[in-house]
Amino acid sequence: EADIYQTPRYLVIGTGKKITLECSQTMGHDKMYWYQQDPGMELHLIHYSYGVNSTEKGDLSSESTVSRIRTEHFPLTLESARPSHTSQYLCASSDLLTGANYGYTFGSGTRLTVV
């Protein structure tokens, strides 16, 4: 099983609440990614990081923010959740070696529902 962990697995929260989705990996990978995916649909890159103190926005505009203070940790924060944020959020990681051999390693995802 992949050594990348996402918590919580499922979250139901009210509109306007602040939430943080956690992602941690124990593989020492320098690159980490957040994707948003509606059920059964395509992946949309919302944030990525190539190392500590490095974060970039992805292809899909998102109201979320990320931080990368430690190599192993890449949390995603929504300051004020809205129903339009209801989706599955997938975290992934890679490095120079695994990127060439396996692409990315994915966590199991967080299914977020905003009511």
Partner 1 sequence: AQSVAQPEDQVNVAEGNPLTVKCTYSVSGNPYLFWYVQYPNRGLQFLLKYITGDNLVKGSYGFEAEFNKSQTSFHLKKPSALVSDSALYFCAVSPPMDSNYQLIWGAGTKLIIKP
- Report which of 29, 56, 81 is spatially closest to residue 47, judged by C-alpha positions: 56
Q: Are 27 and 106 in contact (CB under 8 A)?
A: no
Question: Residue 85 carries which DSSP code?
Answer: G
Using the minimum distance from each CB to partner 1, give the nearer residue, 18 or 60: 60
Using the minimum distance from each CB to partner 1, give the nearer residue, 9 or 18: 9
Read off the tokens for 24.
């941690």
**Measured from the CB of residue 8, what is the shortest distance to partner 1 in angstroms?**
13
Q: Are 52 and 69 in contact (CB under 8 A)?
A: yes
**Measured from the CB of residue 69, what is the shortest distance to partner 1 in angstroms?**
20
**Interaction site with partner 1 (CB under 8 A):** 2, 6, 31, 40-43, 48, 50, 88, 90, 92, 94, 96, 99-109, 111
